[in-house]
Amino acid sequence: MTVMVDIRSVHKSFGSLDVLKGIDLQVRTGEVTVVLGPSGSGKSTLLRTINHLEKADRGEITVDGAPVGYRRSGDRLHELPEREVLRRRTKIGFVFQNFRLFPHLTVLDNVVEAPVSALKRPRAQAVEHAHRLLARVGLADKAGAYPAQLSGGQQQRVAIARALALEPRLLLFDEPTSALDPELVGEVLDVIRDLAAQGITMIVVTHEIAFAREVADTVVFMADGRIVEQGPPDAVLTAPREERTRAFLAKVL
């Protein structure tokens, strides 16, 4: 099996605050990795370094074989120019806790925007694809609505359709259901579950333990900038080896 994301000894500090203290993680192509951990443990920073939004101070990340932030020539690494960073970022979908839809655009235009502006797709083709994606997330009838007219769960499903519009090799979810009212969580998890079943590689930061148990191939527990424990969901969630994992699960379950 090939590796989609390969993270080696990644360190990241903000000033004197060490946020990632040596992260090693491999995500295999087609697999779902769920990342758990207390607030402040570095989960978002880890996703952001994978997506070229933060630069690791030390260590290396490769996505789909390409080093994040660098181009390799021979055995030397050259820093990437900004337009190449943007190009590589388009291959990674990112779904945020707070949706971040464009409020002044319709649902359809939210999904159409990136393929047209970033990938230079013909608009008619992007529109046709967007309609299919909206159907896939159960929102075929909302194409003409504005984000403010939708529930949080619907907005997050639009955000997922928007991420899919770039046909990413990898999808990153940062607490995709944390901002939702409890009754809206299920509809978003259903969509993510469908994507997982279709074999899209993803890393999902979430506190939804039942979802992790059902969908994850690997569960990673992070605390204080380190991976404390990782393995199949049954092992990590049912019989954690580490006391810190047990203490965390006792709080969220």
What residues make contact with ligand ADP under the rule CB under 6 A? 14, 17, 19, 37, 39-45
Q: Which is nearer to Mg ion, 10 or 150 (CB)?
A: 10
Helices vs strands, H then E, count in the chain: 9, 12
CB of 174 to ligand ADP, least distance (A): 7
**Can you tell me the distance from the alpha carbon of 138 to that of 8, in angstroms, rounded to the nearest whole number?**
38
Q: Does 177 bind Mg ion (CB under 5 A)?
A: no
The upper half-sphere exposure of residue 140, i.e. CA atoms within 13 Å in the direction of its Cβ, equals 5
The site partner of 45 among ligand ADP, Mg ion, none (C-beta below 5 to 8 Å per kind) is ligand ADP
Nearest to 96 by CA among 19, 152, 55: 152
Q: Which is nearer to Mg ion, 44 or 230 (CB)?
A: 44
Q: Which is nearer to Mg ion, 44 or 201 (CB)?
A: 44
**Mode of pairing for the β-strands spanning 226-231 and 218-223:** antiparallel
Stretch that binds Mg ion, among 37-45, 82-90, 231-239, 242-250 (CB under 5 A): 37-45
The site partner of 168 among ligand ADP, Mg ion, none (C-beta below 5 to 8 Å per kind) is none
Q: Are 107 and 146 in contact (CB under 8 A)?
A: yes
CA distances to 89, 144, 156, 169 from 46, in Å: 15, 35, 21, 18
Stretch that binds Mg ion, among 14-22, 38-46, 62-70, 125-133 (CB under 5 A): 38-46
Q: Which is nearer to Mg ion, 33 or 44 (CB)?
A: 44
